[in-house]
Amino acid sequence: MTRLAELQLRFAAADFLSFSEIAPGFIVIDVTTPFSAARIALQGAHVMTWQPKGQKPVIWLSQAAKFAPGKSIRGGVPICWPWFGPHATESGYPGHGFARTIPWLLLEAHRLPDRRVRLVFEPQLDETCRAQWPHASTVRFTVTLGQELVVSLATTNTGSTSFTLGQALHTYFAVGDVHRIEIAGLEGCRYIDKVDGGKRKKQQGRVTIVGEVDRIYLDTAGCCGIIDPAWKRTILITSTGSRSTVVWNPGKEKAARMGDFGRQGEDRMVCVETANAADDVITLAPGETHRMTAQYRVIAHG
């Protein structure tokens, strides 16, 4: 029995859950609820799209995204784990960790009494992953779909020594025009400006996007919003278990060099990431579990 057939036999439900192979070895899950629809790749447990009923997409996926085993997907909600950015000591290890490019197992998929749908995943760690991350631990990623999208990453230290954990939900949000948006909720926060050589600055007013932006906002509160006048809505992002917020857009020149943004794709997205990065990484003691959760919902402008 093929992997696709096994998943269909075990989990498929005609009215809310189906599986397909959209490229060789690349299986996705399509989820439909009365409130919204989503597509999730088994590689990386990667939420590729999410669109509330009757609304424009909330999660952006590049029209030029490539779907192949072991290759990262441009757009969606990549999981950065167990480190964010480059590895602290090993330059040859993958940036943002290995979680987004390895297979994950679907452990649970069920419809809740309120007609939301919940899925639970765990990563399949091979010898390479274990060599890069030699700490005894378990990871679970939970996706709950309804009027809101809720994504939650839980890491448990199952060993006898503490370890340091960096992570992010590297979410790409769809916007009408990135040059017109404002990001509220980060006013007055300190941030590391990676475009300006890692200088430390303080945010003055709301965040706007002019050219390339790559910032780690430190010690942030649990809520911010992407105010989008072009699409007459605000995307509200509510986070728990997160000390950092990353804001990223590659700008025109860098996006052109990356090759998988599509024509002017950078104008239609912004990443606002729920994270624990830089100064805000987590130290996890033996037996301890850390859960980082983000909830996304849309507020229409009157």
Domains with residue ranges and CATH for the chain? 3-300 (2.70.98.10)
Instruction: Indicate whether 229 pLDDT > 90.
Output: yes
Instruction: Indicate whether 214 pLDDT > 90.
Output: yes
Q: What is the pLDDT of residues 89-136, one digit of tens each?
A: 999 999 999 999 999 999 999 999 999 999 999 999 999 999 999 999
Q: What is the pLDDT averaged over residues 7-32?
A: 95
Is there a contact between 84 and 275 (Cβ–Cβ < 8 Å)?
yes
HSE toward the beta carbon, residue 229, CA cutoff 13 A: 5
Report which DSSP code applies to 162.
Answer: -
Is there a contact between 124 and 148 (Cβ–Cβ < 8 Å)?
no
Q: What is the pLDDT of residues 125-175, one digit of tens each?
A: 999 999 999 999 999 999 999 999 999 999 999 999 999 999 999 999 999
Over the range 133-168, which residues count as b (16 or more CB within 10 Å of their CB) and which as e? bebebebbbbbbbbebbbbbbbbbbeeeeebebbbb
Q: Quick one: CA torsion of 293, 225, 30, 124, rounded to 10 degrees?
A: -30
The pLDDT assigned to 259 comes to: 87
Lowest mean pLDDT among 20-24, 173-177, 260-264, 265-269: 260-264
Positions marked catalytic: 170, 273
Q: What is the pLDDT averaged over residues 65-83?
A: 97
The pLDDT assigned to 200 comes to: 98
Instruction: Indicate whether 184 pLDDT > 90.
Output: yes
Q: What is the pLDDT averaged over residues 264-280?
A: 97
| CA–centroid distance for 77 within its chain | 3
Residue with tokens 């299986």: 27
Is there a contact between 183 and 270 (Cβ–Cβ < 8 Å)?
yes
Instruction: Indicate whether 221 pLDDT > 90.
Output: no
> Distance from first CA to last CA of the chain, Å, rounded?
52
The pLDDT assigned to 156 comes to: 98
